[in-house]
Chain A
């Protein structure tokens, strides 16, 4: 990843001390959260007791992992403003949709996981397919996050890779195994603040250094990407489509609809945070509150990437070559954008804070994977199919052991990840293959009571199979697609195939009786049970989910017009 370039940061005693303070607090949260855990529901869903601002920030932080921070700043350095689409088109609308439309079913039906919703709606085959594919994906992704974390420790501080991997794994394990989801969520909130205080000053100083907004505009326009990198639309370069019309269409439907709705609305890593909140109103507000920071995160992730692209000497020299896909003379890659900027601008002190922020972000990703993995494995695989009907304490102990086993597996998959240069892109592709059909099945199943259990699992399997086929053809060069275009096309195909298969199968098989679908399907659920209370702690205009969502939407549209 970081080859020959000299990225070793000049960390001194004060930087290590600041880093140590952060780790002491992280472990302290794990210890304190442990005292609150007495049942398995406490451990896996924080006893459904957290306030919305806590779950909302955790919702965002769980996603603000290595891929997000390193990947998006790299993309900013490479493509510029079109990267904003990942946030404003690729996340915000789906997050608002989750809060407004889907959360009443998730929270209202009191299921403990997304696969459990599949069990109630479609029965065992769909449940098992979803549970196993989700658990497998989480272990793979946790490994990739762990590897990136270790790679950064290795680069910045010079510790050997395997020491970094094991040490990072032990720290994440100790707080998730002790305090369960509460510890993970409280730490995600803390991580959110550390990431912001690491990146915001870096961005501001970068802006001063580059000569303000006008300075950035001038330098990017003069660079290899040209002025095209300064406006988010139409984004031909990032989609890999040669035609602006197709590119806009692809961004709106491929990224904005299928990929992002699939990810944000069915991914248990995210939904779990909302399920942990204390009331229906708080659960619906979780993704909506999360949407506000999400709107502004690109400014402290993508903009520093763009600044690094025009002022870090190595990137300035190699940008043209790297954009052609050639290795540059200095050995840096776009992934190094943030590190280069930190090295060039930050004095000791702030440097320690920035390193803490990076490590925090990478641990957030892995802890989120682990806490979702242990819930799905314990509830949806172990309790449902392997060892049933034990007292609650058994599953609580089991959850801790599963967390440990998951960590050991993640160390294994981290070494697999270490042997692939581009595994993150592949993982993201693969993950979107599972999520796009899952979203199709969910949305059809939530609004069409005629959809049958057989259609549920068959749609999922066929959808995923068709996505993998498209992806395989693209890798073989048959389709002539590249970049984001591949995952958008694959996800779109999976979505359509899933819908077609599900409808066709439903027509010829028997649906579940309507009384078993109450709380799971829109048309047979009493309206009152989908509503949230508006009294007590849920009172006040600033706690109305729909109003908050409207405000977020207006800001997003305004930003799309400005940039």
Chain B
């Protein structure tokens, strides 16, 4: 997304921690791992029976972990570049 901004000639640096994709990845990642652990280690027969035999924690945990990795990949592939000069940002917007 943002990497083309280089062509406008403004000096830029990577946004680092404040990329909302990093925060989304963090949340999905924590949820994914916790649910995976719950799904593998702490699923009782009663839980399975309630949900018609589906191990919800396991499958959701797996999906979330994959989604978190995809967000990390996207943020790495197309990092946000922040113009060093505030005025530059005004013009870009």
Contacts and interface: CB of A to CB of B under 8 A. Distances in A.
Interface string A176-206: 0000000000100110011001000100110
Contact of B56 (A14, A17, A18, A346): A346
A349 B27 contact: no
Interface string A16-57: 011001100100110011011010000000011101001000
A348 interface: yes
A14 B2 CA distance: 38
B85 interface: no
Nearest to A54: B20
Contact of B27 (A38, A190, A346): A190
B38 A25 contact: no
A353 interface: yes
A190 B21 CA distance: 9
A314 to B, nearest CB: 16
A536 interface: yes
A408 to B, nearest CB: 29
A537 interface: yes
A213 B2 CA distance: 43
B39 interface: yes
B59 A201 contact: yes
Interface residues of B, number: 40
A54 B50 CA distance: 37
Contacts of A49: 89, 92-93
Contacts of A278: 92-93
Most buried by A among B5, B60, B86: B60
Interface string B22-44: 01101110110011001100111
Contacts of B27: 21-22, 25, 190, 193-194
Given A49-B92, A197-B31, A32 B17 contact: yes
B54 interface: yes
Interface residues of A, number: 41
Given A18-B34, A347-B43, A205 B51 contact: yes
Contacts of B42: 348-349
Contact of A537 (B2, B18, B30, B56): B2
A462 interface: no
B84 interface: no
B34 A197 contact: no
Contacts of A349: 34-35, 38-39, 42, 57, 61
A344 B49 CA distance: 11
Contacts of A54: 20
A209 B64 CA distance: 22
Given A208-B52, A345-B51, A347-B43, A353 B23 contact: no
Contacts of B18: 32-33, 35-36
Contact of B1 (A35, A186, A350, A537): A537
A33 B23 CA distance: 12
Contacts of A28: 23
Interface string A195-229: 00100010011001100000000000000000000
A205 B56 contact: yes
Contacts of A38: 86
Contact of A21 (B8, B30, B50, B51): B30
Given A197-B64, A201-B60, A21 B38 contact: no
A186 B20 contact: yes
A193 B24 contact: yes
Interface in A329-363: 344-350, 353
Contact of B93 (A18, A209, A279, A348): A279
A347 B1 contact: no
Contact of B60 (A21, A35, A353): A353
B74 to A, nearest CB: 10
A347 B38 contact: yes
B76 to A, nearest CB: 16
Given A38-B86, A209-B51, A279-B93, A350 B23 contact: no
Contacts of A536: 4-5, 7-8
Contacts of B20: 29, 54, 186, 189-190
Contacts of B35: 349-350, 353
Nearest to B27: A25
A48 B93 contact: yes
Contacts of A345: 50-51, 56
Interface of A: 14, 17-18, 21-22, 25, 28-29, 32-33, 35-36, 38, 47-49, 51, 54, 186, 189-190, 193-194, 197, 201, 204-205, 208-209, 278-279, 344-350, 353, 536-537
Given A25-B27, A35-B18, 17 more contacts: A14-B34, A18-B31, A22-B27, A25-B23, A25-B26, A29-B23, A186-B20, A186-B23, A193-B28, A197-B60, A204-B54, A205-B51, A205-B56, A209-B51, A345-B56, A347-B51, A350-B57
Interface of B: 1-2, 4-5, 7-8, 17-18, 20, 23-24, 26-28, 30-31, 34-35, 38-39, 42-44, 47, 50-54, 56-57, 59-61, 64, 86, 89-90, 92-93
9 contacts: A25-B23, A193-B28, A197-B60, A205-B52, A345-B50, A347-B50, A347-B51, A349-B57, A536-B7
